[in-house]
Structure 1
């Protein structure tokens, strides 16, 4: 028979967690670090080409039109159902 083992953190995990304490800094140094990290992430952003941008825009517009059609159809179906269920005034 197989023995059931429970995944529990070992001593090395607990010791590693205790050794990695982050010093608290002031509010302004935290804001400066945040903006440095934001600028670092923005440097990684790749701007799409004109062709890609037109393609992405077309995909989004087609998706929105399909969703409008689905919602419109469901609205008509539910309104017809409610009118037939409760009757029109």
Structure 2
């Protein structure tokens, strides 16, 4: 029974080793990140801006349309 505990503890690293491994893995993943060029950043920012404006127009149109429909139904 004591031998089973020894192998179990040997396999499972302590909490500080796990935290260290986690931080190492984060740093390894961050090294893979590629920053966009200024041209790409502008293009994506413009695309997001246009998309948000489009969604705002849709929501505004639905709000006005449903408001008028509600007024027409309930007077």
TM-score (norm 2): 0.78
Pairing of 1:6-85 with structure 2 (within 5 A): 23-85=11-73
Root-mean-square deviation (Å)? 1.1
Alpha-carbon distance in 2 for matches of 1:54, 1:80: 39
Unpaired runs of at least 5, structure 2:
1-10
Unpaired runs of at least 5, structure 1:
1-22
Report the Cα offset of residue 83 of structure 1.
1.3
- Runs ≥4 residues deviating over 4 A: none
Matched pairs, number: 65
Q: Which has the higher helix share?
A: 2
Report the Cα offset of residue 84 of structure 1.
1.3
TM-score (norm 1): 0.67
Report the Cα offset of residue 82 of structure 1.
1.2
